[in-house]
Amino acid sequence: MSRYRTLMVGVGVLAGALILTSASFAAALPSSTVNRPAPTCTFKVLPTGPPRTLAVRTVSANIRQLPGVACVKITTVPKGTRLQATGGRARNNSGGSSSLWLQIRLGTGLAWVANSQVNFLRR
């Protein structure tokens, strides 16, 4: 019986799975990474809202590649940081709770921030 590892790959709001054999996976990554299970990041894309400016209201906010706490963290930004929301929204239902995520512009790309960590600024 072959062993398989799953590597999650995300582009925009889509997530696909790439299955590799453990031998090829082990050759590509350090051994400490091979034994860790790949996190799953599942979410539902919601209807788009208007683009808005946001401000981080908590001590800091994690900016993630896809919407969800199990998704890859890109960076952390401090309280008061202003972010440009694209209007993209998603709901992540992992861990038995539901959370709303907002898509933001980050440099030349896109990322996600939890709605609970930001306030909408007046237009």
Q: Which amino acid is at 26?
A: A
With CA atoms as reference, report the closest residue to 104 among 123, 122, 79, 81. 81
List b or e across 80-99, with b for residues whose CB sees 16 or more CB atoms inside 10 angstroms.
Answer: eeebebbebbbebebeeeeb
**Residue-level pLDDT at 41:** 79
Q: Which residues sit opposite 9 in a β-bridge?
A: 16
CATH number at residue 69: 2.30.30.40
Q: Which residues constitute the domain of residue 8?
A: 4-34
One domain for residues 14 and 72 = no
- pLDDT above 60 for 16: no
* Residue 66, domain member (yes or no): yes
The predicted-structure confidence for 52-94, as pLDDT tens digits, reads as follows 999 999 999 999 999 998 899 999 999 999 999 999 999 998 7
**Residue-level pLDDT at 94:** 74
Rounded Cα gap, residues 120 and 99, in angstroms: 17
One domain for residues 72 and 97 = yes
* Residue 39, domain member (yes or no): no
